[in-house]
Amino acid sequence: MQLQLTLLGEPKISLNDAPLTGFISVKAQALLIYLAVATGMHTRDTLATLFWDEMPEAAAKKNLTKALSNLRKLLGDYIVADNHIAGLDGALPCWVDVHAFSQAVDTAVTVVDLNKLQETIALYRGEFLQGFSAKDAPMFEEWARGEREHLHQMAIHGLYTLGQRLAAAQEDAKAIDCLQRLLIFDPLHEAAHLQIVEALARSGQRRAALAHYENCRRLLADELGAQPSLELRNAYERIRRAGAPPPHNLPALDGFVGRAVELAELTALLADPTCRLLTIVGPGGIGKSRLALQVAMSYTTTAVNANTTNPTFADGVYFIGLAAHTTTNPVLAAIAEAIGFPFQGREEPRQQLMSYLRNKAMLLVLDNFEQLLPNPSQTVPPAANTVFDAPATGIVRFLTALLDHAPSLKLVITSRIRLAVQREHVLHLSGMETPAPPTGHSMAPTAAHITPLSATTILTEAHGYSSVELFVQSATRQRPDFALTPANVAAVIGICRRVQGMPLGILLAAAWVTVLSPEEILLELSSNLNLLETQEHDVPLRQRSIRAAFEYTWNMLTPRDQEVFKKLIIFCGSFTRQAAQRVTGASLRELMTMVDKSLLMPAYDGRFGIHELLRQFGLEKLEETPSLAQAARDQHGAYYTRLVAQRAREFQGA
């Protein structure tokens, strides 16, 4: 025997899969429903009052006895009753959809089981005891109304949760069906309307999304005299604007070369909802600004797409150069000017800007951020606790507060130093791809080292490398008849490898093709860092030469950082953390500072490396202090002498 009660929707009661009939009254049926839902034993006084409170006590109890006798006749041992209590025997099999639904919703929502949640929601066929009424039993009706509302809210919560998870799983059609069902039970559920509008847009149904919003707007106006929520209005505006490219102030980039891997990585990061502060970190001249502009431009060249998981930045993509700014107020003004926002009134500019950006879907590129970061050689007074007290740290606090305030805003920052805040995602940028040197050569060979056949092979392969392509592109601007040939390809490869793919180094080297051959440029580069400079007036001062770029970074270092870096120059090639610490006496934190400031590059297997041009610059700095240079050489030699001796002992012991 099994008793089954389906009470969500029109009530149905069955015993052993057969409909249960024979109730002497509606109240007798209602009594069974109450005992099945409100499990446990109940006093006869409680039950008599619940169903016959309008009668004298004796008459009410007499009617209760008749109803219990009727139920016992229909259900036998399921009914447990004596002179004081009555209820259903919990040891006998009894399935009630209300219990199954309540327990399953709680479990499915908690354990995030999408399939289980779908099965559970299917149990909710309608409202509790839909169409059922026990006349002259107001207390039972009041109890039923409470259960009905509780289950109704549980169904809405379950349907909304299911809709959200279906949308997150990119099952938009199912999500829309689920949320439409929710609206049958609660037509004014704005969060469900928002999910439907966004799901329709994602699935390419832009007109349907706009129409749904309009229906929702009219419904809210008619029923509540209210307008849609700000979030729903913003979604509508974003979808309405779909089809037109977002506004921007980006300068045109001519002839951007390479960086396909980095562009893909940046695009993936910006598509990640958790990545809203992205810092491109690298030494001066490595191409941070150009890369940031290129990825930003990718969001402006096509129409805003409302049915994509990638960010659309419908309110604009803006580039803000910060090279001329060192304090917070001018930076706020630069951001406002770039996005076309005028400050008005007496309210703090900071607060005005945050309020304006609060609901904007924007991408802001903040270029050359390093000079706004704290200088370790300077201390901030303890009282500096506002955005305007400490210029170096205030702008970082402002940006983090801005991201908290503006959920649809994303920031891409270029800097020689990372911001070092928790929400920051960092892309360490290194040189462009360069061809590997032929076997047996540490540097690309000169023409004298290779045969015509091998030169032709090298030429063919070289065209596939972005560093070589950039050199040729830049050289052609200087000398239109320049071409990559079997005679000069080895030298061009050598130049690219000498500067380790650094774009600024390649551009500055290529500028010499008007007076020097590639072979002569390569020869000069081996000993003359000053070769890498330009006199072009439209180039920022600190990018007119490699030396200027490096000097700028050097001046941002503390004396201790400078000492550690000079000692690290003694290493040739990559080196381990242990070797660096033993030779320089630097702590692990100091080594990580070198990485954060783009002076050390993390290499393979936990090793570190230094860019070849930085090494050449650092060697000059090291030679300015002969005593330090000698001490570093001595420590370097002693360390590797001990290491070799240790390995020899280990080998002999084996």
What pLDDT sits at residue 349?
83
Nearest to 466, CA basis, from 430, 425, 426: 430
Mean pLDDT: which of 370-384, 430-444, 529-543 is highest? Answer: 430-444
Q: What is the pTM of this model?
A: 0.56
Nearest to 185, CA basis, from 227, 221, 157, 212: 157
What pLDDT sits at residue 490?
85
Average pLDDT, the chain: 83
Q: Which tokens sit at 11?
A: 């009530």
Query: Considering just the CA atoms, what is the radius of gyration of the chain in Å?
Result: 37
Over residues 576-602, the pLDDT tens digits come to 888 888 888 888 888 888 887 778 877
69, containing H or E segment: helix 57-75
What pLDDT sits at residue 392?
45
Locate tokens 């630069």: which residue? 334
Q: Where in the chain is the domain with CATH 3.40.50.300?
A: 260-428
CATH 3.30.70 fits 557-653, yes or no: no
Instruction: Report the percent of the chain where pLDDT is more than 90.
Output: 30
Q: Where in the chain is the domain with CATH 1.10.10.10?
A: 1-186
What pLDDT sits at residue 439?
47
Over residues 418-457, the pLDDT tens digits come to 888 888 999 988 888 888 765 444 444 444 444 454 666 7
pLDDT of 187 > 60? The answer is: yes
Q: Which CATH class is domain 260-428?
A: alpha beta
Cα–Cα distance, 154 to 121 (Å, whole number): 10
Q: Let me know: does 460 contact 430? Beta carbons within 8 Å.
A: no
Nearest to 357, CA basis, from 468, 437, 272, 276: 276
Helices assigned H by DSSP within 169-303 = 172-185, 190-202, 206-224, 230-240, 260-271, 288-297
CATH no., domain 1-186 = 1.10.10.10
DSSP 346: S
Q: Let me know: does 596 contact 418? Beta carbons within 8 Å.
A: yes
Q: Which tokens sit at 248?
A: 């921007």
DSSP 104: H
Strand partners, 364: 318, 411
Nearest to 416, CA basis, from 534, 557, 531: 557
